[in-house]
Amino acid sequence: MDNGLEKLAEELKDARSRTLSLVSDLDEAQLIGPQLPIVNPPRWEIGHVAWFQEHWTLGHLGKLAPVRADGDALYDSAKVHHDTRWTIPLPSTGETLRYMGMVLGRVVERLSRAESSPDEAYFHRLALFHEDMHGEALVYTRQTLGYPAPRSLSMPREEGGPLEGDAEVPGGRFLLGARRSPAFVFDNEKWAHEVEVEPFRIARAPVTQAAFAEFVEAGGYRKDELWSPEGRAWRSEARAEHPLHWRLGVGGRWMRLHFDRLVPLEEHRPVIHVNWHEASAYCRWAGRRLPTESEWELAAGGGDGRARRYPWGDEPPDRSRAHLDLASDGCVDVGACAAGDSACGCRQMIGNVWEWTATTFGPYPGFSVDPYREYSEPWFGTHKVLRGGCFATRSRLIRNTWRNFYTPDRRDVLAGFRTAALGT
């Protein structure tokens, strides 16, 4: 087997092992779960992951007959409406696991015989990264449904304290987006293009739970002037008075629902499970703003015009630089991971918590859709851009140019934010 394809086969097996570990302790009722608009039934989701891999590698590349004749009718997310995923005749858990095993086995066997080519690598990486993203979705599904934290996670969460202050970024012209190379990137990152950014100041770290609690205690959710019209409409419909998983405990002390248990707020850890409207309202209260994605990427790159894959350089992430890969079941303090600082002094721009930006998701100049048409194009104009990854993001997936995107009302995802100063 070609060395590159051998490594790819190992990564695919690793991704499948992670997927299975995230559902292995769930009972049959939990594997279906309640019907909600923001999650999938876990049993459907793991079958979909295998179907997607089969569709693009064994089907599209190999022109092979499907393992399951009903696979498209069960698992094609573009055709199977979300609300029907609880009622369609899903295979049993045992059948689903066998299907997953058969698909992966055939893929690995294909890779053992395949010759390295751009197409061969591209579609296997597409399936790999798709599975990594669904692994992260299974983590926040477990949080949403109040399931226990995945029991395979045992690494202690690092302390690091707070990190105050702003980094000064000189601005100027720089290349936003992915530069052309053999490495896999998604279509919405293509291609690097020159943009002009005014000098700005951006927080060295994300907003903490303690800082956000001050906003809540100051009545921030009740002050209409802090909310956009869309934000006020969302707040009214959701009856939001505080972050989604916060609860008032004995003596008026704020607690946080962490999967299936209540824990005291961790004052130096980033606020998480807040949506774009909440982040924007906090910024108005604090006399700040959300950074644009151009500003975010420039700060992550260091602001000195040098192209870096990560804030610290091109070396792959490790635990001293970034909190990724489910090393623990939640965030670390915003002051942790000092070795991952960008050249301008921003910390944790990769890992720990996804960060909302002010930017509406849209195409870069000259955008051309990739073979997986449903990945980006349908969501232009309706979603907001997030950057940086979180504690559940796989390190092989994330980089400075990666663009995540969700609708501004989503609070279930593993998202927080950092602020920027008004003016220059």
Interatomic CA distance for residues 112 and 29, integer angstroms: 38
- In 3D space, the residue among 371, 405, 416 whose CA is nearest the CA of residue 280 turns out to be 416
Query: What confidence tens digit (pLDDT) does each residue in 291-336 have?
Result: 999 999 999 997 777 789 999 999 999 999 999 999 999 999 999 9
Buried b (16+ CB within 10 A) or exposed e, 94-114: eebbebbeebbebbbebbeeb
pLDDT reported for residue 53: 98
Instruction: Say whether pTM exceeds 0.85.
Output: yes
pLDDT reported for residue 27: 97
pLDDT reported for residue 157: 66
pLDDT reported for residue 57: 97
**Phi, psi angles (nearest 5°) of residue 203:** -60, 140
pLDDT reported for residue 74: 98
What residue type is 152 in one-letter code?
Answer: S
What residue type is 239 in one-letter code?
Answer: R
Q: Where in the chain is the domain with CATH 1.20.120?
A: 3-144
| Residue owning tokens 């039934």 | 41
Give me 418's structure tokens: 């950092």
Query: What confidence tens digit (pLDDT) does each residue in 348-362 have?
Result: 999 999 999 999 999
The answer regarding whether domain 3-144 maps to CATH 1.20.120 reads: yes
Q: Using CA atoms of 362, 364, 369, 372 in order, give the dihedral in degrees to the nearest 10.
A: -60
Query: What confidence tens digit (pLDDT) does each residue in 97-109 have?
Result: 999 999 999 999 9
pLDDT reported for residue 402: 98
N- to C-terminal Cα distance for the chain? Answer: 55
pLDDT reported for residue 162: 95
Average pLDDT taken over every residue of the chain: 95
pLDDT reported for residue 183: 87
Interatomic CA distance for residues 124 and 61, integer angstroms: 9
> Nearest 5 degrees, angle CA 405-CA 411-CA 414?
65
pLDDT reported for residue 13: 98
Question: Counting beta carbons within 10 angstroms of the beta carbon of residue 316, is it exposed (0 to 12), middle (13 to 18) or buried (19 or more)?
Answer: exposed
pLDDT reported for residue 118: 86
C-beta of residue 101 within 8 angstroms of C-beta of residue 54: no
Q: Where in the chain is the domain with CATH 3.90.1580.10?
A: 153-424
| Residue owning tokens 């007959």 | 65
pLDDT reported for residue 182: 84
Interatomic CA distance for residues 182 and 122, integer angstroms: 10
**Mean pLDDT per 10-residue segment, the chain (424 residues):** 86 98 97 95 98 97 95 97 97 98 97 87 97 98 96 69 96 94 94 96 98 98 98 98 95 95 96 98 98 97 84 96 94 97 97 98 98 97 98 97 98 98 84
> Nearest 5 degrees, angle CA 121-CA 413-CA 353?
80
Q: Which CATH superfamily is domain 153-424 in?
A: paralog of FGE (formylglycine-generating enzyme) (3.90.1580.10)
Question: Counting beta carbons within 10 angstroms of the beta carbon of residue 306, is it exposed (0 to 12), middle (13 to 18) or buried (19 or more)?
Answer: exposed
